[in-house]
C-alpha cells in the first residue's frame, strides 16, 4: 500500500508493505520474504533561479527505507537519505549533494 503525491514542486511518497514468511508467488518472484517495509521520501523542487540558467532546485530533506523481519520484528536494514542542496541546469544535467546512512545485515552483526 502506498500514497504518492508527485508534482513539479513537491513529491511526497509514503509506502508500507509486508510479505509473510511462507508466501509463495505462483507467478513472478520476490527478492526476499518474511519482511515488513516502510518507506517515506519527500522532495521539494522550486524554480527560483531560472534567469541564471538553473532550471530547478532540488531539495530532499529526508528519505528513509526500513526493513524488518515479519515474524520476529528485528531490524534488517535501514537507509536514510538527505539532499540539502541540488539543482538541475537548463543546458546540462546538474549537481546534487547527498548524504546517505545505510545499515545492512543487522541481524548478522547482532548474533
Number of C-beta neighbours around residue 60 at 10 A: 20
Nearest 5°: the CA angle 17, 23, 24 is 125
The residue among 82 and 107 whose pLDDT is bigger is: 82
Is residue 9 over pLDDT 60?
yes
Give pLDDT, residue 105.
65
- pLDDT tens column, 24-76: 777 677 777 788 889 999 999 999 998 988 999 999 988 999 888 888 877 88
Those residues with Cβ within 8 angstroms of residue 104's Cβ, 6 or more apart along the chain or in another chain: 76, 77
Half-sphere exposure of 19 (CA within 13 A, CB side): 13
Residue 105 has which C-alpha cell?
545485515
| C-alpha of 18 from chain center | 16
Give the E-state strand segments of 1-111 in sequence order.
Answer: 2-6, 10-19, 35-44, 54-57, 59-69, 75-89, 94-104
pTM: 0.69
Amino acid at each position: 500500500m502506498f500514497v504518492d503525491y508527485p508534482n513539479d514542486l513537491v513529491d511526497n511518497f509514503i509506502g508500507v508493505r509486508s510479505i509473510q514468511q511462507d508466501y509463495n508467488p505462483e507467478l513472478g518472484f520476490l527478492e526476499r520474504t518474511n519482511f515488513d517495509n516502510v518507506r517515506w521520501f519527500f522532495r521539494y523542487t522550486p524554480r527560483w533561479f531560472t534567469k541564471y540558467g538553473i532550471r530547478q532546485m532540488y531539495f530532499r530533506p529526508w528519505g528513509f527505507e526500513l526493513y524488518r523481519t515479519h515474524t520476529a520484528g528485528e531490524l534488517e536494514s535501514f537507509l536514510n537519505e538527505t539532499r540539502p542542496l541540488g539543482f538541475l541546469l537548463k543546458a546540462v544535467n546538474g549537481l546534487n549533494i547527498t548524504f546517505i546512512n545505510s545499515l545492512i545485515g543487522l541481524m548478522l552483526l547482532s548474533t
